[in-house]
Structure 1
Amino acid sequence: MASSIEDTLNDVGREAIEHALLEAAPAVLEYGVAIAGFLASVLTTSPVLAENFYRGIMDDGTQVTSVVLTPK
Protein backbone atom coordinates (compact mmCIF):
# COMPACT_ATOMS: atom_id res chain seq x y z
CA MET A 1 0.00 0.00 0.00
CA ALA A 2 2.82 2.40 0.86
CA SER A 3 4.42 1.99 -2.54
CA SER A 4 1.23 3.02 -4.37
CA ILE A 5 0.99 6.20 -2.26
CA GLU A 6 4.66 6.95 -2.96
CA ASP A 7 4.12 6.31 -6.67
CA THR A 8 1.11 8.61 -6.67
CA LEU A 9 3.02 11.35 -4.84
CA ASN A 10 5.98 10.96 -7.21
CA ASP A 11 3.67 11.22 -10.23
CA VAL A 12 1.93 14.29 -8.82
CA GLY A 13 5.28 15.90 -8.00
CA ARG A 14 6.65 15.11 -11.44
CA GLU A 15 3.56 16.60 -13.10
CA ALA A 16 3.86 19.73 -10.96
CA ILE A 17 7.51 20.15 -11.95
CA GLU A 18 6.71 19.61 -15.65
CA HIS A 19 3.86 22.13 -15.47
CA ALA A 20 6.10 24.71 -13.76
CA LEU A 21 8.81 24.24 -16.38
CA LEU A 22 6.34 24.61 -19.24
CA GLU A 23 4.95 27.79 -17.68
CA ALA A 24 8.40 29.32 -17.04
CA ALA A 25 10.12 28.34 -20.31
CA PRO A 26 8.73 31.21 -22.47
CA ALA A 27 9.70 33.83 -19.88
CA VAL A 28 13.20 32.41 -19.51
CA LEU A 29 13.59 32.29 -23.29
CA GLU A 30 12.35 35.87 -23.63
CA TYR A 31 14.85 37.15 -21.06
CA GLY A 32 17.62 35.13 -22.67
CA VAL A 33 16.91 36.62 -26.09
CA ALA A 34 16.75 40.13 -24.62
CA ILE A 35 20.10 39.70 -22.89
CA ALA A 36 21.66 38.26 -26.05
CA GLY A 37 20.36 41.22 -28.09
CA PHE A 38 21.69 43.69 -25.57
CA LEU A 39 25.13 42.06 -25.54
CA ALA A 40 25.20 41.94 -29.34
CA SER A 41 24.39 45.65 -29.57
CA VAL A 42 27.01 46.57 -26.96
CA LEU A 43 29.74 44.38 -28.43
CA THR A 44 29.13 45.33 -32.07
CA THR A 45 31.99 47.54 -33.22
CA SER A 46 30.54 48.79 -36.50
CA PRO A 47 27.58 51.17 -36.55
CA VAL A 48 24.26 49.75 -37.69
CA LEU A 49 22.97 53.04 -39.10
CA ALA A 50 24.62 55.58 -41.38
CA GLU A 51 24.24 59.23 -40.37
CA ASN A 52 23.73 61.89 -43.03
CA PHE A 53 23.79 65.51 -41.84
CA TYR A 54 22.09 68.26 -43.81
CA ARG A 55 22.55 71.92 -42.89
CA GLY A 56 20.57 74.83 -44.11
CA ILE A 57 19.17 78.25 -43.32
CA MET A 58 15.46 78.98 -43.04
CA ASP A 59 13.87 82.08 -44.56
CA ASP A 60 14.04 83.94 -41.24
CA GLY A 61 17.80 83.23 -40.90
CA THR A 62 17.55 80.36 -38.42
CA GLN A 63 20.24 77.74 -38.98
CA VAL A 64 18.90 74.20 -39.18
CA THR A 65 20.72 70.86 -39.06
CA SER A 66 18.87 67.66 -39.92
CA VAL A 67 20.14 64.12 -39.41
CA VAL A 68 18.85 61.25 -41.55
CA LEU A 69 19.59 57.73 -40.30
CA THR A 70 19.64 54.98 -42.91
CA PRO A 71 20.46 51.27 -42.48
CA LYS A 72 23.87 50.21 -43.73
Structure 2
Amino acid sequence: MNPVVQGALIGLGVGVALVILEYLLINQAVNERAKKLNRKATFDVTERRRMASIMRFALVLPIGFAAAFWFIWG
Protein backbone atom coordinates (compact mmCIF):
# COMPACT_ATOMS: atom_id res chain seq x y z
CA MET A 1 0.00 0.00 0.00
CA ASN A 2 1.19 3.51 -0.76
CA PRO A 3 2.79 5.06 2.36
CA VAL A 4 0.76 8.27 1.94
CA VAL A 5 -2.54 6.37 1.93
CA GLN A 6 -1.41 4.21 4.82
CA GLY A 7 -0.42 7.27 6.84
CA ALA A 8 -3.71 9.01 6.07
CA LEU A 9 -5.73 5.97 7.15
CA ILE A 10 -3.75 5.59 10.37
CA GLY A 11 -4.15 9.32 11.04
CA LEU A 12 -7.88 9.05 10.42
CA GLY A 13 -8.14 6.16 12.87
CA VAL A 14 -6.16 8.02 15.52
CA GLY A 15 -8.27 11.15 14.95
CA VAL A 16 -11.57 9.30 15.28
CA ALA A 17 -10.38 7.52 18.43
CA LEU A 18 -9.20 10.82 19.90
CA VAL A 19 -12.55 12.52 19.24
CA ILE A 20 -14.54 9.63 20.71
CA LEU A 21 -12.39 9.38 23.84
CA GLU A 22 -12.40 13.14 24.39
CA TYR A 23 -16.20 13.26 24.00
CA LEU A 24 -16.64 10.46 26.52
CA LEU A 25 -14.34 12.14 29.04
CA ILE A 26 -16.04 15.53 28.66
CA ASN A 27 -19.48 13.93 28.86
CA GLN A 28 -18.50 12.11 32.06
CA ALA A 29 -17.29 15.36 33.63
CA VAL A 30 -20.49 17.16 32.60
CA ASN A 31 -22.66 14.44 34.11
CA GLU A 32 -20.69 14.44 37.36
CA ARG A 33 -20.95 18.23 37.63
CA ALA A 34 -24.68 18.12 36.89
CA LYS A 35 -25.23 15.48 39.55
CA LYS A 36 -23.20 17.47 42.09
CA LEU A 37 -25.07 20.73 41.38
CA ASN A 38 -28.48 19.08 40.83
CA ARG A 39 -28.86 20.56 37.35
CA LYS A 40 -29.47 19.38 33.83
CA ALA A 41 -26.32 18.07 32.14
CA THR A 42 -25.24 20.58 29.48
CA PHE A 43 -21.89 21.42 27.95
CA ASP A 44 -20.63 24.85 28.94
CA VAL A 45 -18.66 27.20 26.68
CA THR A 46 -15.27 25.84 27.70
CA GLU A 47 -16.26 22.25 26.98
CA ARG A 48 -17.76 23.17 23.60
CA ARG A 49 -14.57 25.00 22.65
CA ARG A 50 -12.44 22.10 23.83
CA MET A 51 -14.46 19.69 21.71
CA ALA A 52 -14.29 22.01 18.69
CA SER A 53 -10.51 22.29 18.98
CA ILE A 54 -10.17 18.50 19.21
CA MET A 55 -12.36 18.16 16.09
CA ARG A 56 -10.18 20.62 14.17
CA PHE A 57 -7.04 18.79 15.28
CA ALA A 58 -8.56 15.46 14.25
CA LEU A 59 -9.28 16.86 10.77
CA VAL A 60 -5.64 17.88 10.31
CA LEU A 61 -4.23 14.66 11.77
CA PRO A 62 -4.63 12.47 8.62
CA ILE A 63 -2.83 15.09 6.53
CA GLY A 64 0.02 15.23 9.04
CA PHE A 65 0.31 11.45 9.23
CA ALA A 66 0.25 11.18 5.42
CA ALA A 67 3.01 13.77 5.13
CA ALA A 68 5.09 12.07 7.83
CA PHE A 69 4.70 8.64 6.22
CA TRP A 70 5.58 10.09 2.82
CA PHE A 71 8.64 11.84 4.24
CA ILE A 72 9.87 8.78 6.18
CA TRP A 73 8.97 5.88 3.86
CA GLY A 74 8.17 7.66 0.58
> Structure 2-normalised TM-score?
0.39
Higher share of residues assigned strand: 1
Higher share of residues assigned helix: 2
> Structure 1-normalised TM-score?
0.40
Higher-Rg structure is 1
Greater relative contact order (Cα 8 A, min sep 6): structure 1 or 2? Answer: 2
